[in-house]
Amino acid sequence: MTMYFNEEHSALRDMVRRFVDKEINPNVDDWEEKDVPLHELFKKMGDLGLLGITYDQKYGGQGLDYWFDLVFLEELGHVKADGVPMAIGVQTHMATPAIHEYGSEYLKETYLRPAIAGDMVTAIGVTEPGAGSDVVGLKTKAVRDGDSYVINGSKLFITNGCQADFVTLLARTSDDPGYHSFGLFVVPTNLPGFVVSKKLDKLGMRCSDTAELFFDDLRVPAQNLIGEAGEGFVIQMKQFQHERFYALPGSYIGARDTIDMTIDYIKQRKVFGKPLITKQVLRHRLADWITDIECLKQLTYHIVRMKIEGLDATREISMGKLLAGQLSFKVSNGCLQMFGGMGYMNESLITRKFRDTRLLSIGGGADEVMKEIIARVEGF
């Protein structure tokens, strides 16, 4: 029992920790070479009830509150390759929250339930070759035709895109300007007209598959629209809040692990006759980062309290996402420096941390996009 967590939280923490230690970390070096086998991993997680912690028990979820979600995400922060928690996060926090909140009974039974069980792998399709930060600029079209929508267009940088059974897809349903011309669809990838046009090669997150997708006259039933017609953009903006929140716990836990690993190294590494840890400039740098990490953690705990109260945490989540992206790369880059030449060798885990943590300031809304949101909410 601690200030925030009781025995039930601890039991979940132990279970996720065991899962990370036994089923994930021993495999990550292998997966970095050839992608995470998502169906296999998610089935194991689904069997343990880990893919729907806050989701309604009616659809196989656990019906637990956001503190349990936080515990789950904190423990995933110990995974030694960020591409694994990212793939899991797509399943739990990026591609399914909108179905849970706005989907029809049909969509929840047909897609949410198997996603929670780990029987279906999901992806979220928003970004396009011509539209990333500027989501409103997306061009993929969904045109209503009888009981279907016909989808044409392409999506870029889609995580889990090569393995997904369905993509939660944002498409334009009319050319009218403004925010009410979009639909968010559940698009099964076994429909004719779905093409994985390219598997992309990346700087980091190398165990995560990232795809370019192409939709060629793909006909999806109209009942696969999530929520009201025209409201897809608004629904996706809400879904982004779950996506961005997902990134926070893993960031402060991962950064702390990086620091601990670095402290272990500089304790034994002698330079000019003394262990590096004795250098005040390095000790102070580490103390600065640990202070920043505590601030991010406390902001995250504050967000959990806001979410539980049902308050809009857009401002705080945007701040947290901004801080998480900047801090995790600052720490991995700075720690790499403390490893010296060893930090530049691929045999050191710090090289992977350095590559993987570079993404967060770009993906899921770049730092500049977070700053625009914060400025707007602040009223300037």
Residue 368 touches ligand FAD, criterion: CB under 6 A: yes
Instruction: Identify which range of 117-125, 177-185, 291-299, 320-328 contacts ligand FAD by CB under 6 A.
Output: 117-125
Question: What is the distance between the alpha carbons of residues 160 and 154, in angstroms, rounded to a whole number?
Answer: 15
Q: State the nearest-atom distance from the C-beta of 330 to ligand FAD, in Å.
A: 16
Residue given tokens 């343990």 in the structure block: 48
List 243, 294, 347, 368, catalytic entry:
243
33 is catalytic: no
Question: What is the distance between the alpha carbons of residues 89 and 92, in angstroms, rounded to a whole number?
Answer: 5
**Closer of 86 and 338 to ligand FAD (Cβ):** 86
Rg (CA), the chain: 21
Residue nearest to ligand FAD (CB): 132
Single residue of 88, 225, 253, 369 touching ligand FAD by CB under 6 A: 369
Q: Name 309's Cβ contacts closer than 8 Å, sequence gap at least 6.
A: none
From the list 168, 172, 217, the residue with the least C-alpha distance to 192 is 217
**Closer of 204 and 334 to ligand FAD (Cβ):** 204
**Closer of 24 and 213 to ligand FAD (Cβ):** 213
Residue 180 touches ligand FAD, criterion: CB under 6 A: no
Q: State the nearest-atom distance from the C-beta of 126 to ligand FAD, in Å.
A: 3
**Closer of 151 and 259 to ligand FAD (Cβ):** 151
DSSP class of residue 379? T
Q: State the nearest-atom distance from the C-beta of 154 to ligand FAD, in Å.
A: 12
Residue 132 touches ligand FAD, criterion: CB under 6 A: yes
Residue 202 touches ligand FAD, criterion: CB under 6 A: yes
Single residue of 117, 121, 363, 370 touching ligand FAD by CB under 6 A: 363
Beta bridge partners of 24: none
Residue 372 touches ligand FAD, criterion: CB under 6 A: yes
Question: What is the distance between the alpha carbons of residues 339 and 119, in angstroms, rounded to a whole number?
Answer: 42
Q: Name 96's Cβ contacts closer than 8 Å, sequence gap at least 6.
A: 55, 112, 115, 116, 122, 168
Residue 43 amino acid letter:
K
Instruction: Identify which range of 73-81, 157-165, 175-183, 308-316 contacts ligand FAD by CB under 6 A.
Output: 157-165
Number of H helices, E strands in the chain: 13, 9
Q: Name 244's Cβ contacts closer than 8 Å, sequence gap at least 6.
A: 317, 318, 320, 321, 364, 365
**Closer of 69 and 243 to ligand FAD (Cβ):** 243
Residues in the site for ligand FAD, rule: CB under 6 A?
A: 90, 123-127, 132-133, 157-159, 202, 205, 210, 359, 362-366, 368-369, 372
